[in-house]
Amino acid sequence: MATLTKNDIKITRTETSKISSIDFNNLAFGQVFSDHMLTCDYKDGKWHKPEVVPYGPITLDPSSKIFHYGQSIFEGMKAYKDNNGDRFLFRPMDNVKRLNLSAKRLAIPELPEDYFMEGLKALLDVDQDWIPTNEGSSLYIRPYVFATGNGFHASPADAYKFIIATAPSGAYFSGKVNVLIEEQYSRSANGGVGFAKAGGNYAGQFYPTQLAKDKGYQQVIWTDDTTHEYIEEAGAMNVFVRINDTLLTSPVSDRILDGITRKSILQLAEAEGIKTEVRKVKVSELVEASKNGSLKEMFGAGTAAVISPISGFGFRGDDFEIPEQDQSFASQLKNRIVAIQTNKAEDPFGWRVKL
């Protein structure tokens, strides 16, 4: 039972809303921010009560440990509004639990679940008009925690800040992407923090991704850190491969994020009668399947894009095109997930949470 409710949360409203200046018909992803944010501080050995305040800059001491030792974790989720104006979240408790899983791995104090959920509800009550109703749009929600404690000593901080900021957003990707299979750089390693949503995981991806872009690709397919024989993730997303009529994805591990969209796709595919296999997929298997015509689809899966089709991949100087399918698994599964998220279809899984 929650010890905190949204009615317990102090709310300080902005004096002037900027919502009238926003063109909701032309929203980029994560570039426009709502009027308010939730903040909550950890100090003196405990999390203090969250509050909703106007969105704006924060002040940190130059010795704050976030700048020096990178204790930073985050989540990504969305809020939706249907034609009746009702508001919904998608599997929010999965985000809460994964945030705390990430926190534990980075020696950050775990956040009380009711602080997260009740704080989010209070924030979305205040900024409910910021949830778009345009097709393909949603309110992107970014909960994150970072070290604010001071000092140059290499140790966990003694103070942290939890923030939830939101951004009305359009599509993350438009169209298909062409990817390069990465064999030199690794996203993560055994025993590391690849399974956590740690900021440093993504910082380490930018340079190899830029190298791939310089070669004409939009993203990279990460391979295992030891042999580079197996595909693992697609950029910042989980990766799926369709060989003939079987949908394959890598098992989660120390190196691979347990994606909420990934889990949803597997469960939904089973319900739709699509055969799935969770197993390691060799790069050589992918190449061979492309050559013999059994590779039907590849796509990335994550909260921001939901599903992002991959049009082809590069490997050791060769490019392999993936033909378009008239009835692709990617479009079938994305349409079903989005319909559940936006209350346009029944939700037999209990994923949709009405606010």
Q: Where residue 243 sits, what CATH number does that domain have?
A: 3.20.10.10
d(Cα 186, Cα 46) in Å, to the nearest integer?
36
CATH number of the domain at 26, please.
Answer: 3.30.470.10
- Residues 48, 155 within the same domain: yes
Is residue 176 very low, low, confident or very high in pLDDT (cuts 50, 70, 90)? Answer: confident
Place of tokens 């606010």: 355
| Residue 97 main-chain phi, psi, to 5 deg | -65, -35
Q: What is the C-alpha separation between 58 and 179, in angstroms, rounded?
A: 37
- Residue 234, beta-bridge partner list: 221, 237
Q: Are residues 209 and 335 in the same domain?
A: yes
The angle that helices 92-105 and 113-126 make with each other, rounded to 10 degrees, is 130
Cβ neighbours around 173 below 10 Å, total: 18
For residue 150, the cross-strand partners are 64
3-state secondary structure string across 73-90: EECCEEEEECCCCCEEEE
| pLDDT value at residue 9 | 96
For the segment 179-234, what is each residue's pLDDT rounded down to a tens digit?
999 999 999 999 999 999 999 999 999 999 999 999 999 999 999 999 999 999 99
Q: Are residues 302 and 227 in the same domain?
A: yes
Q: Are 295 and 200 found together in one domain?
A: yes
What is the 8-class DSSP label of residue 26? Answer: S
pLDDT at 1: 45
Distance of CA 84 to the CA centre of its chain: 27
Q: What was the pLDDT predicted at 2?
A: 56
On whether residue 181 sits in a domain, the answer given is yes
In the block, tokens 């079903």 appear at 336
Tell whether 237 is covered by a domain: yes
Judge if pTM exceeds 0.85. yes
Measured CA to CA, the distance from residue 257 to residue 236 in angstroms comes to 9
User: Is residue 347 one of the residues assigned to a domain?
Assistant: no
Q: Which residues pair with 353 in a beta bridge?
A: 89
- Give the separation between CA 23 and CA 169, rounded to whole angstroms: 11
* Residues 92, 238 within the same domain: no
Domain ends where: 148, 169, 190? 169
CA 44, 68, 195, 106 torsion: positive or negative? Answer: negative
Shared-domain flag, residues 241 and 325: yes
The alpha-helical segments, DSSP class H, found in 146-232 are 199-214
Q: In this structure, are residues 205 and 211 in contact, taking their beta carbons and an 8 Å threshold?
A: no
Is 284 in the same domain as 161? Answer: no
Q: What is the mean pLDDT of the chain?
A: 96
Distance CA 15, CA 285 (A): 59
Alpha helix segments (H runs only) across 193-282: 199-214, 260-271
- Report the distance separating Cα 40 and Cα 106, nearest Å: 18
Range of the domain at 183: 177-341
Asked if 193 and 337 sit in the same domain, the reply is yes
Average pLDDT of the residues in 126-143:
95
Give pLDDT tens digits for 19-55.
999 999 999 999 999 999 999 999 999 999 999 999 9
Chain centroid, CA 12 distance in Å = 29
List phi, psi (to 5°) of 290.
-65, -40
Same domain, 20 and 103: yes
In a domain, 351, yes or no: no
Do 155 and 195 share a domain, yes or no?
Answer: no
In a domain, 118, yes or no: yes
Which segments of the chain are extended strands (E)?
10-11, 36-43, 46-47, 51-54, 72-74, 77-81, 87-90, 138-147, 160-169, 177-181, 219-223, 230-234, 237-243, 246-249, 275-278, 281-282, 295-302, 306-315, 318-321, 352-354
- Residue 206 domain flag: yes
Structural domain includes residue 1:
no
Instruction: Report the distance separating Cα 342 and Cα 38, nearest Å.
Output: 24
For the chain, the domain total comes to 2
Segment 260-311, tens digit of pLDDT: 999 999 999 999 999 999 999 999 999 999 999 999 999 999 999 999 999 9
Which of 134, 153, 169 is at the close of a domain? 169
- DSSP state for residue 6 in the 8-state scheme: G
Same domain? For 209 and 110 the reply is no
Q: What are the distances in angstroms from CA 170 to CA 37, 95, 146?
A: 20, 21, 27
CA angle 303, 175, 314 (to 5 degrees): 95
Contact criterion met (CB below 8 Å) for 105 and 190 = no
Domain termination site, one of 169, 191, 224: 169
Judge whether residue 254 has pLDDT over 80.
yes
Does 177 score more than 70 pLDDT? yes
Q: Are residues 190 and 308 in the same domain?
A: yes
Compute the average pLDDT of residues 126-152.
96
The percentage of the chain sitting over the pLDDT mark of 90, rounded to a whole number, equals: 95
Assess if residue 352 is contained within a domain: no
